[in-house]
Structure 1
Amino acid sequence: MADVDQVEVVVAHKERTTLRVGDVFLKVDADRTRTAVEVEAMALVPIPTPRVLWHEPPVLALAAVPGAALGRLGVPSTASPAAWAAAGAAIRRLHDAPLPPWTDQSPGDIAAHLDGECEWLIANGVLPADLVTRNREVAQAALRPWTPVFIHGDLQIAHVFVAGAEVTGVIDWSEARQGDALYDLATLTLGHEEHLGDLLAGYGSDVDLDVIRGWWSLRSLRAARWLIEHGFDPDSPGCEFDVLRARM
């Protein structure tokens, strides 16, 4: 390991903490099943992932991946169209892989949770009722039957690393499971709608854009309370609340 003089806190909240020490990441998770899923998922997927150094629950040690993140939520992505297309091609390889053993919630279960979150947002004055209602309508497009594929499950823009026009690694696999392919595509482009065309150029498949928009609204509505309760601000510029406002 390279010489280091500090420990960097990458992320810290009530459920998990990730530390960086030189070129090693240490993930400490209150739910031991998540790190177990992450290790197994990375062994199954046909795309680059971090190298597992060791796993002693509740701690998982991973090697840093080369390259830089495709971007981050709330900040314009400076990655090239070719890099976004490469990300789309990598996601397509993942979605074409054999299914993992972990299943997703049904559309009905997701809808029930979504409705509860919408009620909470309105009752607590977090967002105007008309904004929540409009986005709940948009979200309905995502709540249709889908053919399950192997999805990452939390494919945020900061979880995809690239160098030039090559994907060098995809991180944070603790939510990998069977699910809707368009959920991954929507998660990666959340707040970065201008790059959806480049992503789909690499993905290489016809995609229902209404479903993508539905997942943008659905993910933002469902995430808001968790983000607030764990010390994050979904009302930061370019983040979840701006995604919801864009639907108006």
Structure 2
Amino acid sequence: MADVDEVEVVVAHSQRATLRVGDMFLKIDSDQRNLDVEVEAMGLVPVPTPEILWRKPRVLAIAAVRGTALGRLGEPSTASPAAWAAAGAAIRRLHEAPLPPWPGRRRRDEIAAELDGECEWLVTSGSLPADLVKRNREIAGAALRPWTPVFTHGDLQITHVFVEGDKLTGIIDWSEASQGDAMFDLASLTLGHEERLADVIAGYGTDADVDVIRAWWSLRSLLFSRWLIQHGFDPNSPGCEFDVLRSRM
């Protein structure tokens, strides 16, 4: 049994789980549509993605991507400025690609209504003080302006982007890909790493709207904190969502 690879649980909750076995990742999802979107998106995007090894109903096997994640939320990133710029350049290529044939998951008015509900829950549950939530809700409003849809990753958190030295080697986890706001992707990547935003923009291009990116930092943190809490994650960990919201004060 010495040659058998150990199984590592990368993430697991009631909706999906990701396991690592050697150089293979097994993604198990309760909703087959998420895996279908992931496979189709990886076949369309002009950026490096993992190799698909095989797929079965509700299970997708992909090969590990070379290199290491750009960083982790709550920890300083050791990646070079050039690596962050390479990530920005790859995101630009993605956003300039033809739109995927499926629409965005939510309209702006739906996001606004959901945001108001999440803000109310954060206050009534005692998770955050009312003045902190109110201030970030005001900031978040700038993100809810009309935007021209682009091909977005939809969940471009820092652990989904892999680099080797100064080069980008792959972007993983495409199940949220859709037509969406370009600034949301840039905000997702730099959430909790504001000091790296200039490097990303250096690769992406000067038309990035920093005020809207900052608004998405607040909006994303307000919108997802309840889900994180209810699925066993801690948005109050150092450098994570609650710290992002406090920094806006």
TM-score, scaled to structure 2: 0.97
1:72 matched residue in structure 2:
72
Q: Does 1:245 align with 2:246?
A: yes
Say which is worse superposed, 4-13 or 24-33, in terms of deviation: 4-13
Cα 1:147–1:29 change in 2 (3 A) is same
Instruction: Supply the RMSD in Å over aligned alpha carbons.
Output: 0.8
Q: Secondary structure of 1:9's partner? A: strand
1:220 matched residue in structure 2:
221
List gaps (5 residues or longer) in structure 2.
none
Are the counterparts in 2 of residues 149 and 178 from structure 1 also a CA contact under 8 Å?
yes
Q: Secondary structure of 2:39's partner? A: helix
Cα 1:75–1:149 change in 2 (3 A) is same
1:89 matched residue in structure 2:
89
1:183 matched residue in structure 2:
184
5 Å matches for 1:91-110?
91-104=91-104, 105-110=106-111
1:47 matched residue in structure 2:
47
Deviation at 1:103, TM superposition (A): 1.8
How many positions carry a matched residue from both structures? 246
Are the counterparts in 2 of residues 102 and 176 from structure 1 also a CA contact under 8 Å?
no
2:165 matched residue in structure 1:
164
Say which is worse superposed, 97-106 or 172-181, in terms of deviation: 97-106
Hey, which bits of structure 1, 4+ residues long, moved more than 3 A? none
Deviation at 1:198, TM superposition (A): 0.3
Distance 2:34 2:187 in 1: 22
- 2:122 alignment partner AA: L
Q: Secondary structure of 1:172's partner? A: coil
Distance 1:4 1:159 in 2: 27
Q: Deviations 1:28-50 (Å, cap 9, x if unpaired)? A: 00111000000000000000000
Are the counterparts in 2 of residues 182 and 212 from structure 1 also a CA contact under 8 Å?
yes
Distance 1:121 1:115 in 2: 10
Q: Secondary structure of 1:61's partner? A: strand
Deviation at 1:237, TM superposition (A): 0.2
- 1:155 alignment partner AA: L
List gaps (5 residues or longer) in structure 1.
none
Distance 2:66 2:124 in 1: 45
2:196 matched residue in structure 1:
195
5 Å matches for 1:148-159?
148-159=149-160
Distance 2:247 2:103 in 1: 31
- 1:54 alignment partner AA: W
Q: Deviations 1:48-85 (Å, cap 9, x if unpaired)? A: 00000111121000000101000010101000000000
Are the counterparts in 2 of residues 4 and 21 from structure 1 also a CA contact under 8 Å?
no
- 1:173 alignment partner AA: W
- 1:92 alignment partner AA: R
